[in-house]
Amino acid sequence: MGNITRKHGELYKTLTEDVLNRCCSVTGFTPEVIRKEHDKFFDVAGDGRLKKEYMEELLGDYMPQVREKRLKYLTNCIFSAIDTNNDGYIDFLEYLTSIKFFQTESPIEKADFIFRIMDKNGDHLVTRKEIARLLECLEDYHKKSSNSSITSVMSGGVKPAANFVLAKLDEDKSGQIGVSEFVDGWLKDETIRTLFTF
Ligand SMILES: [Ca+2]
Ligand SMILES: [Ca+2]
């Protein structure tokens, strides 16, 4: 996120008027919401840098059915999607932005975020393997699904499921999915949305 709203190495420890204004303009949240989240964030991340282990713990509580190895992969994917300046920590602004993505009502923003989670190596393309690995993480989660199209897509395992996703989304038949193909599919197809919602 190499934009002017971010200052190098800043940890946003004190909510000055300037920091507050920038947080508001980046996220669209009200100052009240930002103050509340600031308290919450610094309660956990004392020095302003949230570590990956903490996210793994949170995710493990949220998705107890996901096994350890898969949880690690999923944590890595989500963490790198949130850690936009790639310094190995989540700072307050990155934290705010991620809340925005998790809470957003905008299907395009949501799809974009899921795409970035799935795109493990960050090359802006999603391969069959990246799809399969994310679905593998979500496999146990989907097992309890009452949605018959999800259980049917997942019934043969993650490889056929990844093929199904690729066949649905790969409009230009390049063998990989670009972000616009994913967003299109997300908007059009309920099975795709449900498959990647967790
Ligand atoms: Ca960071
Ligand atoms: Ca990729």
* Domain chopping of the chain, boundaries: 17-103, 107-196
- Each residue of 26-77: pLDDT tens digit? 899 999 999 999 999 999 888 999 999 988 988 898 889 999 999 999 999 9
Which-ligand-closest: CA of 81?
1
Q: Ligand 2 centre and the CA of 46: distance in Å?
A: 33
The structure tokens listed for 104 are 């957003």
Statement: residue 2 has pLDDT above 60: no
Question: What pTM does this model have?
Answer: 0.85
Cβ-contact 49, 33 below 8 angstroms: no
The structure tokens listed for 123 are 């090359």
- Each residue of 162-180: pLDDT tens digit? 999 999 999 999 999 999 9
Cβ-contact 165, 131 below 8 angstroms: yes
> Nearest-CA neighbor of 175 among 114, 116, 130, 109?
130
Superfamily in which the 17-103 domain is placed by CATH: EF-hand (1.10.238.10)
Same-fold call for 17-103 versus 107-196: yes
Q: What is the pLDDT of residue 1?
A: 45
Angle, CA of 155, 160 and 166, to the nearest 5°: 125
Percent share of the chain, pLDDT over 70: 96
Cα distance between residue 23 and residue 161, in whole Å: 39
Q: Ligand 1 centre and the CA of 188: distance in Å?
A: 33
Q: What is the pLDDT of residue 5?
A: 59
User: How is domain 107-196 classified at the CATH fold level?
Assistant: Recoverin; domain 1 (1.10.238)
- Each residue of 79-114: pLDDT tens digit? 999 998 889 999 999 999 888 888 888 999 999 999
Q: What is the pLDDT of residue 178?
A: 98
Q: Ligand 1 centre and the CA of 86: distance in Å?
A: 5
- Per DSSP, what are the bridge partners of residue 29? none
pLDDT category, 156, cuts 50, 70, 90? very high
Q: Ligand 2 centre and the CA of 8: distance in Å?
A: 27
Q: Ligand 2 centre and the CA of 47: distance in Å?
A: 32
Which-ligand-closest: CA of 80?
1
Q: Ligand 2 centre and the CA of 32: distance in Å?
A: 37
Cα distance between residue 163 and residue 177, in whole Å: 12
